[in-house]
Amino acid sequence: MISLARHRLTPAQTGPALHALAEWTPADAPAGGLHPGDVGWYLRFTDAAVYLWTDDAAPVAAGFLDGPVLRVTAAPGADLGALAADAEQLLEPGNDWSDGLPVPGWERERESWLVLSWTPRPVSSRAEPVGAADVADRALVHRAAFKSTLTVENWHTMRRSPAGELAVETIVRTPAGEPAAAATGWFAGAGRCGLLEPVGTAPDHRGHGYGRDAVLGTCAALVQRGASAVAVLTPSSNHAAVALYRSAGFTVLRENRDWVRPASV
């Protein structure tokens, strides 16, 4: 008999969810809608809320609302029907996508996300680890690449979170010392797949291989910690990103399609 319970975790309480997600991460790519690194990146927000579902106190799924998208990874063999029935209580109008958890009556989105995987190999890269003196420039690159509001304080909030120790970050500079590209990688444990999230190059420095170097430097750092492979996810329509990852040696492992409310398709 299923005794399903949903727990709303504050950032400081996310350790059990991160541990469960790491255990469910296989060697080649994330198993569902979330990798521990997705939660780690989300924890840059002080008001982040992560949900952990348990059955008789044993974790069976973890997830959070990423804007309009419910992102969930369930344990192998978990009752997806029971999880979906409970998760629907979180879905208000506007929460019209589900990544990793089939919602009854919803349909597959037309656009796919590519899951690309990188197998460890020797690399050459201009990337350097992000140190204390690089934090402002790391945030600057992200804001330039994504028109984001990432601040230095956001970065410190993320690194102080229970996921902070899982992060591996690199930055690439121009010969003149300007920050050009940066990448954050996430470790899920020895023998498990790491994740790139996010990767960005400042618009003024694109086309010079800086993004590729950030990717390769971060992948190498994750493998040095014990990752079996490194995965990255990107929309299939993002041709520039797909080309970048292919140039760094990533291959497409599979395509994912979110579940969408029928009225939103």
pLDDT digits (tens, 9 = 90+) for 91-125: 998 999 999 999 999 999 999 999 999 999 999 99
The more confident residue out of 151 and 264 is 151
pLDDT for position 263? 77
Residues of the chain with CATH 3.40.630.30: 115-256
* pLDDT-based confidence at residue 32 (cuts at 50, 70, 90): confident
Tell me how far apart the alpha carbons of residues 212 and 220 are, in angstroms, rounded to a whole number. Answer: 12
Per-chain mean pLDDT for the chain: 95
pLDDT digits (tens, 9 = 90+) for 202-211: 999 999 999 9
Helix or strand or coil: residue 40? helix
**C-beta of residue 71 within 8 angstroms of C-beta of residue 90:** no
- Measured CA to CA, the distance from residue 234 to residue 241 in angstroms comes to 7
The SS3 call for residue 16 is: helix
Residues above pLDDT 90, as percent of the chain: 94
Is it the case that residue 82 has pLDDT exceeding 80? yes
Secondary structure element (H or E) that encloses residue 41, with its range: helix 36-42
Task: Give the model confidence (pLDDT) of 131-175 as tens digits.
Answer: 999 999 999 999 999 989 899 999 999 999 999 999 999 999 999
| DSSP string of 176-227, one letter each residue | T--EEEEEEEE---TTSEEEEEEEEE-GGGTTSSHHHHHHHHHHHHHHHHT-
Say how far apart CA 50 and CA 73 lie, in whole Å: 12
User: Greater confidence, 31 or 71?
Assistant: 71
DSSP H helices, 226-264, are 239-247
Q: What pLDDT is recorded for position 31?
A: 85
Question: What's the confidence (pLDDT) of residue 216?
Answer: 98
| Third-level CATH fold of 115-256 | Aminopeptidase (3.40.630)
What architecture is domain 4-109? 3-Layer(aba) Sandwich (3.40)
Using the predicted structure, report yes or no on whether residue 243 has a pLDDT greater than 70: yes
Model confidence over 183-205: pLDDT tens digits?
Answer: 999 999 999 999 999 999 999 99
pLDDT-derived band at 3 (thresholds 50, 70, 90) equals confident
What pLDDT sits at residue 61? 98
Share of the chain above pLDDT 70, in %: 98
pLDDT over threshold 60, residue 1:
no
Note the pTM of the prediction, 2 decimals: 0.95
